[in-house]
Amino acid sequence: MKKLDWYILKKFFATFFFSILLFAIIAIVIDASEKADDFVQSKLSIKNIITDYYFGFVPHIIALLFPLFVFIAVIFFTSKMAGKSEIIAILASGVSYNKWLKPYFIGGVLLTLFLWIANQNIIPKANVIHASFLTKYVDANSSYEALMSSQRKRDLYFRLDSFSYAGIINYDTSSKSGGQFFLNKFKGTKIVENLRSNEIRWDNEKNKWILTSVLVRKINGLQEEMVEFESKEMNFNFKPFDLRKDTYVKSKLTTEELKRYIQLEEMRGSESINELKVERYKRDAGAFSVLLLTLIGAIIAGRKVRGGSGMHLAWGFIIAALYIITDKFSTIFSSKGNFQPLIAAWLPNIFFCFVAYFLYRKAPK
């Protein structure tokens, strides 16, 4: 690391963190004005609003726009350097174009690692705080959520594994209990075991499901064996959280929890499996986009042009808009269609890798 590398890195990080801090303050002010009525109705103190909402909202909004603010910060300070002919002087002194890009690459890698680590565990935990407040105080005020809460008891039918199917009548998410429960196990196309109970409920202390008035029928050809239990503890591969209808579930789970949830939903044959997979892959792809947009921003803004920073920022916003559009379309095609989730998550990065290579080849060196 030479003085030139440190000089560019200091400008990079100073511009980025100042811009993200300024944006966070603006976002808080705008959000507070929009949710003023909800804050009043919640009857929470200012301290509780900060801890119960903004401790989750700020990391959520920063992570959402993190790559774009890196991109804008790079374009802004690099165009200023280009406007003062600093980059021309650097390249004229014998520094190669690749060596000039080195500090951008290092800074991009560091910020990529930071966002990747945050996406795995930190942001999901912040989303739990954010989503909990929205569910309790914001969504609860809408007519749709009020309707859903009035109809919180519902019948569930799902697959436990490749040969077991279960159902719960009138499952209540608040009490974690339901009415009649059944479990059918198959061998090929023939049923080999049928379990039925009058009630199912979750025991928090034992961390198990408790069934009452249980009847187990085991079928072997023409032979049948029946066993009755007043109460029976069961270790199923689903928990109360897995049975909730949660709009924010995919953003609240850490990556390891999300992987487990995806496996469970695959066994159930869930229709929203692609949406969960896209979320899983985008946590990696979103972090990589930081490095990619850093290099694109440096290459675009490194050329001195008429119009100065204005032209660079204009091109930056155009590329940012194209990136967002590509990302949204690929996500929708995967969530609502049959587009491969892995490709959908990485498609914007794949496309802009070619854009970065084209700009690099055309850049004056």
Would you state the pLDDT for residue 365? Answer: 67
DSSP character string of 195-244: EEESEEEEETTTTEEEEEEEEEEEEETTEEEEEEEEEEEE--S--GGGGS
Helix (H) or strand (E) holding 78: helix 55-83
Stated pTM of the model: 0.77
For Cα atoms 121, 127, 131, give the angle at the middle one, nearest 5 degrees: 155
Would you state the pLDDT for residue 200? Answer: 92
Would you state the pLDDT for residue 148? Answer: 47
Q: How many residues does the chain have?
A: 365
Q: If DSSP codes are grouped into helix, strand and coil, which group holds residue 156?
A: strand
Q: Residue 286: is it exposed, middle or buried by C-beta count within 10 angstroms (0-12/13-18/19+)?
A: buried
Instruction: Provide the phi-psi class of 287: left if phi over 0, else alpha when psi is between -120 and 50, else beta.
Output: alpha
Write the pLDDT tens digit of every residue in 252-296: 888 898 888 888 777 766 677 888 898 899 999 999 999 999 999
Write the pLDDT tens digit of every residue in 175-231: 888 889 999 998 888 889 999 999 999 998 888 999 999 999 998 877 888 999 999
User: Beta partners for 193?
Assistant: 185, 218
DSSP character string of 152-178: --EEEEEEEETTEEEEEEEEBTTTTEE
Question: 123 with 60: CB under 8 angstroms?
Answer: yes
Per CATH, domain 174-238 is 2.30.30: yes
| Positions in the chain short of pLDDT 50 | 143-151
Place of tokens 């290092």: 106
Place of tokens 């961390």: 207
- Two structure tokens written together for 25: 């303050």
Q: If DSSP codes are grouped into helix, strand and coil, which group holds residue 153?
A: coil
- Two structure tokens written together for 26: 């603006």
Q: Residue ranges of the domains in the chain?
A: 3-141+272-362, 174-238
Would you state the pLDDT for residue 145? Answer: 45
Would you state the pLDDT for residue 199? Answer: 92
Question: 195 with 177: CB under 8 angstroms?
Answer: no
Question: 231 with 214: CB under 8 angstroms?
Answer: yes
Compute φ and ψ for 147, nearest 5 degrees.
-65, -45
